[in-house]
A and B are shown apart, each in its own frame.
Chain A
């Protein structure tokens, strides 16, 4: 039987998902269901003088109007669970419903529960809140300047934390360097825009004290834990079900006020309650991504050896610290300051700022895209300064394969990789030299073509639990799985992660089916229900396959080991004399003496004839805690054509060479690269969340926030190298975020390369036509 590992079979979840046969949270229907809608602040910053709910409470269909006063002492503050150490992190209380003060547009002040969604929505307009508006601050750099509006009494100067990272001696490297380049970079705020908005449904049985919460969650076990903490409900009385989830990109990691409030309402009212945000609400209250203002510099020799990197980062957290927010611009960002290079001296300071904006948390890549972008922009600036081709500078500074595993300046150890191979392959595929010649010629004809390179490595497969503890992550980072074999040989595997579009229902079944030599149809993967699945920490940080897949593999191996012992017993053979062949254990040299997996499943489950001391049944659970993170890497190269007249950027070719180890399902890997690259190209060219100075989100709908459309995106030429990691038994590294991490800088580098003849050295993303045109006008004005 051919192995399924490495086979690009179609995704098993797709027939369900694309024919409308999935079950999403909003599809949950319960008897007597009621509907919640939130009353949200229209002001970015205001004190609340009075909340008058009388008219809303009288409105047709309204069951309850709940305010912050009602939940005092019953619904705890919305928790932050990433308590990054040694940075003086300040976590002011985040009330689920504001009582005294609102701190961003969308901050909830009341919840309506009504018999229909429409009645709840109508009643929202009837709640009369008397606000006293205050000055707002929206920019992470300005927010920490003196004299700026203050969000929290507990946080002077709006400084949430000041985090430092250092390795080597960067100050000395800069003092001695022949060449220094610096940039001010704005990494704009982004809206994750999962296809399915968030939703929650809660049902409470007063007699048993059992709460069931359906929620759009990337990590139902974390939601169970956070719900327990926030509502003071025993964890074993809470069942969190995350049914089909339509994407998250990080925005469905956090525990939100909305979910806790829905649970509280169900408990108090004795009715099941549903809340589903619409797209505008999603844009207003579901976490955003990025939001950095950065001062960054790089130094090196005159002949292309990079010797140091320094940063000062202003990272916006929004109005409150969301669940994982403090870890994103620190741990997941600053530890990667050497990038894919041997940069020996790095030093960074990250200043987290509270601003009157929607909370910012993990968004596809979470900290690593920001790190890669600033490094890769600096490499290009440095190359230009010393007059060396940027690709050659990269080649000169990439960590050599023979130095792997390699410990970088910040102290983390990259597991494996041949970074040069990926760079060389990408350069060959895009015909780098040939393009440089065409570019030269085109410039003479007044056409501005550019080529941009980005060599990245990223930290994912999060991660060893011991490290999680050290970095203040409020949970473990192992994974677990249960493999249960039924009497008929059919298999159900229960996993602790919660795939929500990544295809693990398929790839994980491939792992199990291979292990047992059974058709994939015999294997079902179960995720998302804390009642049936073992403790896990969720799907994010490109960890599901590298950690959860490894746990699953180990559980399957355990099952197979037991089956082998049983086979030896039934065949009256020595275990050592058995070999696994084509789905059965057979006696070496005597293949007729064999027990197929299905037969062993039956015998184990009926337990008529078990070896002495062996328990009946055929199932096993395994926990896998990796010894290290994994570090996928690669090189992305784009070529672009810039229309000088309009500023419009056209991507001519997009070539990426990624290495995430061996592929369980090459089609799914490629799909992850495609999705990641598109989100990165969107970030590079068109996506930006804009706030007005008084804190209104100006891009609150898809009419203004430019989610990439298929017609706007280039063809992606996706290629790979294959370097297994020693960190897990599958050899796999994460690929969910790599595309986003690798893509953003190569696009920007290509555009800046195209415009270099005008003297342009940097344009802040997104490189919208308006921004590119303005940069061109400025450069032309300067040249005159």
Chain B
């Protein structure tokens, strides 16, 4: 478990980091809880680590207005320590509680996890369901990418090699929305075999809106169409019908833990359970 040799640079400021990031073979280190294990297995052998873990500019949760801005360097622990964030986006807290273990949540950062883009990690689905926008910056400028356009494949994102994820902007949640995260975990890793994040609105007893995102199912987290539930009362049959096609067009993973058939089935189960739970919390 000894990584190949590498250089290490600790960025002193954001400007410093953006100057250093483009160099060949450089990999950005935040909390390190995804990158370091890969390096210890020598699956990743970066020539240089650029440590942005100390940058105050990347930390913090800003809840001014009705949305939120979360610094990419904010740890999972810090997310959980914000009751205001949990109040506005209970989905974040619910999913974050299931990430890794205490040590991972203490060190791991939301931006690091999103930029790593593990196909089974939780936060990408949460970001998709909440309609997040990712603010990126490079030495040459800044741009914003919608979560839906950010995840481009397994462990790959829209980030250019000289870009850093700076923060995440969340729009105001729909009024009186219910949110839920339902994950069916692989017992060894704790990663999702299939997990669903749902945001549901209703009027009286009728569902008026559903945003559903799935993770663990294919090569990346994705928004799935569950609009069939809109107009229903959310009874089992209606939800079952609404989630029947959530893996349509997705190249579903099969591995030693779950066959394609089983994972597709679980995707429908967690989708339905997340919507039902979110519905019960709406209004």
| In the assembled complex, A402 has its CB within 8 A of some CB on chain B | no
- With A646-B266, A698-B256 known as contacts, the answer to whether A706 contacts B187 (CB < 8 A) is yes
| In the assembled complex, A210 has its CB within 8 A of some CB on chain B | no
CA–CA, A118 and B40, complex, Å: 11
CA–CA, A118 and B39, complex, Å: 13
Interface pair A279/B256, CB less than 8 Å apart = no
Closest A residue to B187 by beta carbon equals A706
A122 contact from B4, B257, B265, Cβ within 8 A? B4
A502 to B: closest C-beta gap in Å: 27
| In the assembled complex, B1 has its CB within 8 A of some CB on chain A | yes
Interface pair A704/B189, CB less than 8 Å apart = yes
B41 cross-chain contacts in A, Cβ below 8 A: 280, 701
Interface pair B269/A278, CB less than 8 Å apart = no
| In the assembled complex, A131 has its CB within 8 A of some CB on chain B | no
| In the assembled complex, A569 has its CB within 8 A of some CB on chain B | no
| In the assembled complex, B160 has its CB within 8 A of some CB on chain A | no
B116 to A: closest C-beta gap in Å: 15
| In the assembled complex, B237 has its CB within 8 A of some CB on chain A | no
Interface pair B2/A121, CB less than 8 Å apart = yes
Interface pair A646/B188, CB less than 8 Å apart = no
- With A770-B257, A774-B262 known as contacts, the answer to whether A122 contacts B5 (CB < 8 A) is yes
Interface pair B259/A770, CB less than 8 Å apart = yes
A702 cross-chain contacts in B, Cβ below 8 A: 188-189
Interface pair A704/B262, CB less than 8 Å apart = no
1/0 per residue, CB under 8 A from B, across A700-717: the answer is 011111110100100000
| In the assembled complex, A225 has its CB within 8 A of some CB on chain B | no
Of the candidates A121, A279, A774, the one having the most CB atoms from chain B within 10 angstroms of its own CB is: A121
A706 cross-chain contacts in B, Cβ below 8 A: 186-188
1/0 per residue, CB under 8 A from B, across A677-718: the answer is 000000000100010000000110111111101001000000
- With A704-B257, A774-B262 known as contacts, the answer to whether A768 contacts B269 (CB < 8 A) is no
A651 to B: closest C-beta gap in Å: 14
Closest B residue to A712 by beta carbon equals B187
CA–CA, A648 and B186, complex, Å: 11
Of the candidates A118, A686, A701, A704, the one having the most CB atoms from chain B within 10 angstroms of its own CB is: A704
Q: Main SS of chain B's interface residues?
A: loop
- With A646-B269, A703-B188, A704-B188 known as contacts, the answer to whether A770 contacts B258 (CB < 8 A) is yes
| In the assembled complex, A645 has its CB within 8 A of some CB on chain B | yes
| In the assembled complex, A117 has its CB within 8 A of some CB on chain B | yes
Interface pair A690/B1, CB less than 8 Å apart = no
Of the candidates A280, A707, A770, A774, the one having the most CB atoms from chain B within 10 angstroms of its own CB is: A770
B188 contact from A280, A707, A769, A774, Cβ within 8 A? A707
Interface pair B256/A280, CB less than 8 Å apart = no
A198 to B: closest C-beta gap in Å: 14
Interface pair B269/A699, CB less than 8 Å apart = no
Interface pair A773/B262, CB less than 8 Å apart = yes
Interface pair B256/A704, CB less than 8 Å apart = yes
- With A690-B256, A699-B256, A770-B257 known as contacts, the answer to whether A118 contacts B188 (CB < 8 A) is no
Closest A residue to B188 by beta carbon equals A706
Interface pair B259/A117, CB less than 8 Å apart = no
CA–CA, A707 and B184, complex, Å: 17
A589 to B: closest C-beta gap in Å: 65
B184 cross-chain contacts in A, Cβ below 8 A: 646, 648, 769
A712 to B: closest C-beta gap in Å: 6
B5 cross-chain contacts in A, Cβ below 8 A: 118, 122
A698 cross-chain contacts in B, Cβ below 8 A: 256
A768 cross-chain contacts in B, Cβ below 8 A: 187, 257
B258 cross-chain contacts in A, Cβ below 8 A: 770
1/0 per residue, CB under 8 A from A, across B53-82: the answer is 000000000000000000000000000000
CA–CA, A699 and B257, complex, Å: 10
> What 8 A-B pairs come out closest when comparing CB atoms?
A706-B188, A278-B1, A706-B187, A703-B189, A121-B2, A686-B187, A770-B262, A690-B256
Instruction: Spell out A's residues near B (CB within 8 Å).
Output: 117-118, 121-122, 278-280, 645-646, 648, 686, 690, 698-699, 701-707, 709, 712, 768-770, 773-774
**What are 18 A-to-B residue pairs whose CB atoms are below 8 Å?**
A117-B2, A118-B2, A118-B5, A278-B1, A280-B41, A646-B184, A646-B269, A648-B184, A698-B256, A702-B189, A704-B188, A704-B189, A707-B188, A709-B187, A768-B187, A770-B257, A770-B262, A774-B262
